[in-house]
Amino acid sequence: MTLQWLNHAEHSILLIDVSNLTNNHTKLTAELDALVALLKDEPLKSVLAVADLRNTYINNNVVMTLIKHAPLAAPHFRKSALVIEPNHARNIILNSLGQFVEQLPKRFDNLEDAKDWLVSQDKGKEPAKDAAL
């Protein structure tokens, strides 16, 4: 997983790149811990975030890890999006996260559409961050 601040249309977007993650529950847990630590420095409801989950291996361990971390990260997101293949099984899994977060991320087939949506009608325009993580 990679965490990186992107500049898109003069907005900062946090890219959470989990694409192509194999069956490595330990690594995912460590990376999500890093995400939660990063977000602690950000005000609540301030971050535009997109997670790329394409070609990611999802099993029960991954779901449990997401359930544990989602309530800690989600309050910091002003808007969030997921880039993921449309798939009935994945939709069921992702919809189940709605029990643990206030608002589910909007889903997209590609990263550019997700970034465009995140910055559309964004009221709290913030300057882009300079550094990648």
Residue 129 pLDDT = 55
Q: Can you spell out the DSSP letters for 32-53?
A: HHHHHHHHTTSPTT-EEEEEE-
State the pLDDT at residue 131: 45
In total, how many domains does the chain have? 1
Give the range of the structural domain holding residue 38, as residue numbers without chain letter.
Answer: 2-119
The whole-angstrom separation of Cα 113 and Cα 118 is 9
- Residue 28 falls within a domain, yes or no? yes
- The answer as to whether 132 is a domain residue is no
Can you give the CATH number for the domain in which 29 is found? 3.30.750.24
**pLDDT at position 11, please?**
97
What pLDDT is recorded for position 128?
Answer: 52
Does residue 131 belong to any structural domain of this protein? no
- With respect to residue 124, please indicate whether it lies within any of the assigned structural domains: no
pLDDT under 70: residue ranges of the chain = 88-90, 97-100, 122-133
- Give pLDDT, residue 127: 46
Is 36 domain-assigned? yes
Residue 53 domain-assigned (yes or no): yes
Residue 129 lies in a domain: no
128: in domain: no
Q: Which two tokens stand for residue 103?
A: 């608002």
